[in-house]
Amino acid sequence: MATRKEVARMAGVSEATVSRVLNGVGPIKESTRRRVLEAAEKLNYQLNAVAASFARGRSGNIGVVLPHVPKVHLFSTYYFAEILSGIGEAVQGGETGGGLLLLYRKPGEAYDYVSLFRSRRVDACLILGASSLEPERQSISRLADEGVPFCVVDQRFAEDPRIPTIVADHVEGTYRAARLLLDLGYRRIGFLNGAPQYSNSRDRLAGYRKALEEAGIGGEAVPVFEGNYSRKSGYEAAEAVHRELHRLDAMLCANDRMAIGLIQGLRERGCRIPRDLPVVGYDNSDAAALFDPPLTTVEVPFFEMGKLAAERLIKRLSGNAGEEETFQAVLPTRLVIRSSSPIREENESE
């Protein structure tokens, strides 16, 4: 059976143009339309049923698929709350006049995203909290196979460039945080990271290691600890961190929740923060500024990521996205200095 890529090659156009011609979506030059139809006929290309169904009717909904984690209130979690707020802002002010359909999936398991389009429950799909575990990756790759509008927020899939993604520059974020500590004279900087199946965990580790390598510090010189981005995992990591205090003079954490849990656990063991061990967080959550001591952290534009992802899908639904069906965007982060790391008051910023 011929593929859309083969039709595009024969007609001399992009795969996105083939999709729009065969689905009757958007303005297309008549000469281009004829070339695509002739190529499809010569190759006996069969129109994808899912894409055709999408073209014939609209549900009016943009789907947002979230992981379901028992006993975790995702909507009160800064990470998801900010991304969802950005998505809502874009949908509220968008041209489609549609709404959001929130759906849950089990983390680490396959999910039938394509059925959401086949049943016309959604016109487009945003995926939050995804990982690179094989069942999840394959489920998301099937969306790319079908050519339907979707985007993954804050998870990269470098092995499949067809997957549209909006992420933050986590490599630069942890690099700058580690450089801050290095510039203050700290050398033995430990790192408390999240689970490795998330690309942002790998990126944060890469930025941290880049800063240490530039300073001539080998990877074995300081320990790396693993949590799961929860406050509880940071609290539990305090025991291991406390055992390694003789090898540490500062700590960098991959998010604020783990940093707060770590500080709480270390205090119970008699550690004074930041006097005995400066701690830097990541995310710039609301709790970071309110915690005692207020956390030095890295601001991540979660709201802007959600808003941009939704805007790109809304433009595609409106037929204004040109030929761009696959896109990747990386948004910058910002270092926010507070008193959990010993910086002079005149250098502090909010």
Give the length of the chain.
350
Half-sphere CA count of 184, side-chain side, radius 13 A: 21
Q: What is the CA radius of gyration of the chain?
A: 23
> Exposure string (b/e) for 205-239, b if CB count within 10 Å is 16 or more?
bebbbbbbeeeebeeeebbebbbbbbbebbbbbbe
CB 98 within 8 A of CB 62: yes
The answer to whether 140 and 130 have CB atoms below 8 angstroms apart is: yes
Residue 150 and residue 116 in contact, taking contact as beta carbons nearer than 8 Å: no
| Residue in 126, 137, 128, 135 with CA at minimum distance from that of residue 160 | 137
The C-alpha atoms of residue 294 and residue 262 are separated, in whole angstroms, by 14
Topology agreement, domain 4-47 and domain 170-300+335-347: no
Cis peptide before 294 (omega within 30 of 0): no
> Spelled out in words, what is the top-level CATH class assigned to the domain 59-168+303-332?
alpha beta
Alpha-carbon distance 285 to 300, whole Å?
Answer: 9
Report the relative pairing of strands 279-280 and 224-226 from DSSP bridges.
unpaired
Q: Is 160 exposed, middle or buried (0-12, 13-18, 19+ CB in 10 A)?
A: middle
> Quick count: other Cβ atoms within 10 Å of Cβ 270?
8
Read off the pTM.
0.79
In this structure, how many other beta carbons lie within 10 angstroms of the beta carbon of residue 3? 15
Q: What are the beta bridge partners of residue 168? A: 331
Q: Which CATH class is domain 170-300+335-347?
A: alpha beta
65: left (phi over 0), alpha (psi -120 to 50) or beta: beta
Domain ranges of the chain: 4-47, 59-168+303-332, 170-300+335-347
DSSP 268-320: HTT--TTTT--EE-SB--HHHHHSSSPPBEEE--HHHHHHHHHHHHHHHHTT-
**In the CATH hierarchy, which top-level class contains the domain 4-47?**
mainly alpha
At residue 245, the pLDDT reads: 94
Q: CA 232, 287, 244, 201 torsion: positive or negative?
A: positive
Specify whether the CB–CB gap between 297 and 260 falls below 8 A.
no
The pLDDT of residue 3 is: 81
Residue 73's pLDDT is what?
67
Contact status, residue 237 vs residue 245, Cβ threshold 8 Å: no
**pLDDT tens digits in sequence order for the chain, 350 residues long:** 678 888 899 999 988 888 778 766 667 888 888 898 888 888 888 665 555 545 556 777 899 999 987 766 666 689 999 999 999 999 987 655 568 899 999 999 999 999 998 878 899 999 999 999 999 999 999 999 988 999 999 999 988 989 999 999 999 999 999 999 999 999 999 999 999 999 999 999 999 999 999 999 977 778 999 999 999 999 999 999 999 999 999 999 999 999 999 999 999 999 999 999 999 999 999 999 999 889 999 999 999 999 999 999 998 888 764 546 678 999 999 999 998 876 533 334 33
Residue 282: closest CA among 297, 300, 270, 292:
297
The sheet with strand 224-226 has its strands ordered as 224-226, 189-193, 250-253, 279-280
Please report the pLDDT score of residue 333 as a whole number. Answer: 97
Position 323 scores a pLDDT of 42
Q: What is the pLDDT of residue 344?
A: 39
